[in-house]
Amino acid sequence: MATNSHIQFAGARRRTLQILTLVFAATVVGAGHSKVLPVYGYDEDDGRDVAAQSSDKPTVEAAFPLESYGPNSVARLVITDKAPAVSIQIRHVGPETGPIMGNDTMTGVPMTAKRAIGHVSGRRIVNVHLGDWPSGVYFVQLTAPGGRVGYAPFVLLPKHLGVNRVAVVIPTQTWQAYNHRDDNGDGRADTWYACACQHSARLGRPFLDRGTPPHFKHYEAWWLRWLVQTHKDVDIISDAELKHASGRQLAKAYSLLIFSGHHEYVTTHEYDAVTDYRNRGGNLVFLSANNFYWKIVIHGRVMYRVIKWRDLGRPEAALLGVEYFHNDSGEHRGNWIVRNTGTFPWLFAGMSIHNGSVLSTGGIEADWTTSASPKSIRVVADIPNLYGRGMTAQMTYYETKAGAKVFAAGAFTLAGGIRDNVRVQQLVNNLWTHLGNDRAGQ
């Protein structure tokens, strides 16, 4: 018994040392491709992380330890707050209608009645029974006297991978990377976006803004509504599923994987599995930008940002077709100008569009083609000189000899702009029809 414990301790220590070594390497090797961070900021006068200042509305803080759960399962909700007379209710994002009032609000239709759980004090675990509901993004809404409202989101999986031939991947790891919660109370957010000295971020922790994931209103909420409103048959999965499924399993289950949000942080297994999926003929759609940019490792429930994939000799352009090159925190936006309409008649079907037409507006972060892009790549549209002369965002498409079809938006964000732009809606519909019905990925 003691010998086994010693072996386990030595193994854990060795893994920790490996992680720290990789993190140190990232600070040195990755310095050549600096990314201008969003305007979050750090107040040097009083040492506070400015970005950690979230909604001032009263809340009840809680989170699920895992990113996703199966139907008809029991999920453990961890409440980390003090409040009297707390009630909980499960809601489904997508079927609801009406406005979304702010960045600290999640909307959804009730799936259960409100259930009173009484007083909570500091930390309490509540078992939440999930039903046989459609795969999607759900949340538990917590309420307490005094107008206190909190949200704890999670992904409800399909009964098995491949219930539907199209899957949308929710960027649950990137959500936590951008979570500026101060977990240890030292006045600085526990994410690498708060300080260059920070290289880790914990999974399964509550989000700021009363529990709403970062940018959820702009990147996910209207997209999830559109999926429901247009009756898309789709599996919703999280990063957790990509950390376990092989490329072969994904290709057997899905014709099309859609990365609708900002999917910046991925493990080696995720990168390998999605690459193998593509190599087997699986189709890919990226509706935002700056995807598959950083390698992370996960030790326990903590993510460590390690190194950029391109600095490991695996440029993301070889998979996506494009790769991140710049952002200016959204100061500049521009029009996607359509190119090559004659090359892609199926992509622009149902639209009154020609070369030079405006598709929609994009920006914030941008991608372009590089020498690592597949030789068959074609530019679908671009945002000329988005950040200055020659700094042009590119929307692209390519096919492989194995039959894979890969589309990348090249800027933020087609999913976020799908709410009221009929051309974006038609473009995504055409991608869904052309790539989602393809059986090449088997």
Q: What is the pLDDT of residues 83-94, one digit of tens each?
A: 999 999 999 999
Residue with tokens 């939440």: 128
* Domains parsed from the chain with CATH numbers: 62-156 (2.60.40.1930), 243-436 (3.40.50.880)
Helix (H, G, I), strand (E, B) or coil at 14: helix
Specify which of 109-123, 184-198, 348-362 reaches the highest per-range mean pLDDT: 109-123
379, 338, 333: which is closest to 356 by C-alpha?
A: 338
Residues 6+ apart with CB under 8 A from 182: 49, 52, 188, 189, 190
Please give the pLDDT value at position 328: 80
DSSP 158: P
Give one DSSP letter per residue of 210-264, joined into a string. GGPPTTHIIIIIHHHHHHHHTT---EEEEHHHHTT--HHHHHHH-SEEEE-S---
Assign 29 a pLDDT band (cuts: 50, 70, 90).
very low
**Dist. CA 340–CA 395, nearest whole Å:** 11
Please give the pLDDT value at position 186: 87
What is the average pLDDT across 378-403?
Answer: 95
DSSP 15: H
**Residues facing 387 on adjacent strands:** none
DSSP 317: H
Query: When comparing pLDDT for 101 and 114, which is higher?
Result: 114
**Dist. CA 76–CA 96, nearest whole Å:** 25
Q: What is the pLDDT of residues 245-276, one digit of tens each?
A: 999 999 999 999 999 988 999 999 999 999 99
Q: What is the pLDDT of residues 161-181, one digit of tens each?
A: 999 999 999 999 999 999 999
**Residues facing 43 on adjacent strands:** 48
Residue with tokens 């990314």: 35
